[in-house]
Amino acid sequence: MLSTIRRFSTTGSALDHARTIINPSNYVLRRASPQSKACLVLSTQSMINSVIEQVSQLHQEDPSIQVAVAAVDSMVGSRRHGVSELWLDEPISVREHELLIDEDADKPLRESDGINVVSARSNWKLTSARLGLSFNDKVNVDVSLTNTLFSTGHSSTLFVVEEGQKYSGQVLKNVRIALKTKDSKIINSTDKWTALGDENEKPLIITKSIGNLVKQINNGSASAYLQDNEKLMSIGSKDTEVYVKLYKKDAEIGEEKKAQRFQVIAGGGGWGAKASTLVISPEAEIQEGDRLEFFMLTPTDKFSGPSKDDLKEASRESGNDIAAFECSYEQETYEGEGKYTESKVIEGIFGGGSESGFKVGNVQHGSAGERVDIQL
């Protein structure tokens, strides 16, 4: 039986109650309180059809309740079987939306001739669908969605049920929802990165660059920094990923310490004009004079997966409910085959994860294990 205890936010926002259910049994979507006016639901692929049924039943009982649903890769802690709910006592606002148009969705299925195998109508692929959440003017999150082709028949599953709106019940590709949690703020950000530099290292200043290409650092070869780095080279694994924190030279006062986070997607070596170049994520806008810090995500940290500590109730520490978003670890086994099989309700936490990562503002979080906690 799910808890129906009402939790009030101490910040005076629209928050009603947040909870995440890992490995739910007999899942029921139930109003957190009589004052609940809206609900956000994140669901793993394994639970999405149950969630859809529950939303339909709830809407029939009370059409005035707004419900937004999105299917993601995981719950907090990379758990692959669960549901997360955020109940609000103020309405949500859909600021923008885009309908999902699946290729071949309206074409009839081929029939078998009894000899040849009939292929699926659509192929599984990574989806570009996203759920955008604006907690307030300063905290905006975009979460990549999971492919639900084998669960719902759509490449992604995202919809809003809202009486009187044309988009109500339609399958959407993208949506941005504004909440009224005006006092929300980021309270914690963690990752599994290992710094490649040390405290005695000179600042790494970009002295030559074009677009997202770093050609020189401190007037020397950019790629040489990685090639000569003992921490990186001692691992000797192609599964090691390299990341950078970029500090803009022209940042406004108070913003100069805020880093943009990008991945190094290609490096130099050998001979030729590109031998000394490092290629950063395409969205990076690099200028000469910007400062870099290098990090690595080791194979151990990339594939080891979450520990039990990743499921700690962080809201208890902050004194408030939180929204937690993370870059999920790659799935290597089914959830039922793991050691976290019993049902668990985590009060005070809403959120989920995606293997494709998420963005907070303009900062991309795309390495396994990255997580951001937002006070609600």
Residue spans per domain, the chain: 15-102+124-189+306-375, 194-302
119-165 pLDDT tens trace: 444 454 677 899 999 999 889 999 999 999 989 999 999 999 999 89
pLDDT given at position 353: 94
What is the pLDDT confidence band of residue 199, given thresholds at 50, 70 and 90? confident
Digit-coded pLDDT (tens) for 204-216: 999 999 999 999 9
In this prediction, residue 333 has a pLDDT band, given cuts at 50, 70 and 90, of: low
- Per-residue pLDDT at 10 exceeds 50: no
Q: What is the pTM of this model?
A: 0.82
CA–CA distance from 199 to each of 202, 203, 293, 294, 298 (Å)? 8, 10, 11, 13, 21
